[in-house]
Amino acid sequence: MTKTTNLPMGQLMDREPLARYTSWRVGGVADHLYKPTSIEDTQRYLKSLSADEPVLWLGLGSNVLIRDGGVRGSVIYTRGCLKQMEETANGVLKVEAGVPCALVAKLAAEKGLSGAEFLAGIPGTMGGALAMNAGAFGGETWGLVSRVLLLNRRGELIEREASEFEIGYRFVSVAADEWFVACYLDIPAGGNEESREKIRSLLAKRAKTQPTNIPSGGSVFKNPEGDHAARLIEATGLKGYSIGGAQVAEKHSNFILNTGNATAKDIESLIEYVRAQVQEKQGVLLQTEVRIIGEELVQ
């Protein structure tokens, strides 16, 4: 049973099952899960932890596979917590890490800003999008970022310019003990109705080409240079292949679905099987886009 303690600011839960916080709907328990109410409250919580306590940040829980044995230490849950969005001077949007990317696309369109529409196709929060330079429909998160706010392991707030980071395909050179808590997005002015129509078009395309109504973790593998992971997986004959309750999606081969009773072990086993088969038959070693974290379940 979940033990809940109401703190003066945020909410701390002990032995919290993480399956309810991930888009795959799998994962063991966290020793502690903290829902902060603000960046300042998050600072306070980090400062309260012992120096050796592991810390994991979790937003929408997409692009992450949490093993069945769960996560030791503290999970800081940002979705619906670090949720502030505001327009500053000159059309710059300040967005906190827990805001879903789709809401950022919507706000930008409402403000008459053009170029953030692709964010509607990213099934995650801005914190996760910043950490991996998430992209969709030809756009990438860091193409919009001018500067960011981070917290380090000691709870200190740091502001950095985008130019201070090395950015690549699904890669950002952020230190292991620093985490994004907000960003400033510099989005050009445009027509709001045109932006709304583009968002509608992109979402329709996503619904047509991706399995959006069954639990998944998003795209599992990075696209190799000059090719597509989905094409390689399909060419290997793995569309629809299953291990336990995990299945390679028929609609898009770079998605693995939880068909209803999958464990994290099923999903991880299928990921490794797909990697091995594609390497054997196509000569390409696929790299995971999904982060696999936590401990194996000890039987």
Q: Can you give the pLDDT of all 299 residues of the chain as single tens digits?
A: 344 444 457 999 999 999 999 999 999 999 999 999 999 999 999 999 999 999 999 999 999 999 999 999 999 999 999 999 999 877 799 999 999 999 999 999 999 898 999 999 998 999 999 999 998 888 999 999 999 999 999 999 999 999 999 999 999 999 999 999 999 999 988 877 888 888 888 888 888 888 888 999 999 999 999 999 999 999 999 999 999 999 999 999 999 999 999 999 999 999 999 999 999 999 999 999 999 999 998 76
Look at residue 136 and give its three-state secondary structure.
strand
CB 95 within 8 A of CB 104: yes
Residue 128 has a pLDDT of 95
Amino acid 195: pLDDT: 84
Q: Is 289 annotated as catalytic? A: yes
CB-neighbour burial class of residue 222 (10 A; exposed 0-12, middle 13-18, buried 19+): middle
Q: How many CB atoms sit inside 10 A of residue 208's CB?
A: 9
Catalytic residue among 72, 170, 206, 291: 170
Whether 74 is catalytic is: no
Question: Are 74 and 32 spatial neighbours (Cβ–Cβ below 8 Å)?
Answer: yes
pTM: 0.89
The residue from 62, 74, 195, 219 that is catalytic is 219
**Predicted local confidence at residue 184, as pLDDT:** 97
| Residue whose C-alpha is closest to residue 24's, from 242, 204, 265 | 265
Contacts 24+ apart (CB under 8 A), 82-87: 82/36, 82/38, 82/39, 82/42, 82/127, 82/181, 82/182, 84/182, 87/111
Rounded Cα distance, 10 and 6, in Å: 7
Contacts of 272 (CB under 8 A, 6+ apart): none
Catalytic residue check, 147? no
**Calpha distance 214→209 (Å, rounded):** 13
Please list the helix, strand and coil fractions of the chain in percent, rounded to the nearest 5, in that order.
30, 30, 40
Q: In whole angstroms, how far apart are CA 48 and each of 45, 129, 156?
A: 5, 27, 12
- Count of CB atoms within 10 A of residue 69's CB? 16
Query: What SS3 state is found at 149?
Result: strand
Q: How many residues are recorded in the chain?
A: 299
Angle at Cα 80 formed by Cα 74 and Cα 83, nearest 5°? Answer: 105
Domains present along the chain, CATH in parentheses: 3-77 (3.30.43.10), 85-209 (3.30.465.10), 229-293 (3.90.78.10)
Measure the CA–CA gap between 251 and 268, rounded to whole angstroms. Answer: 20
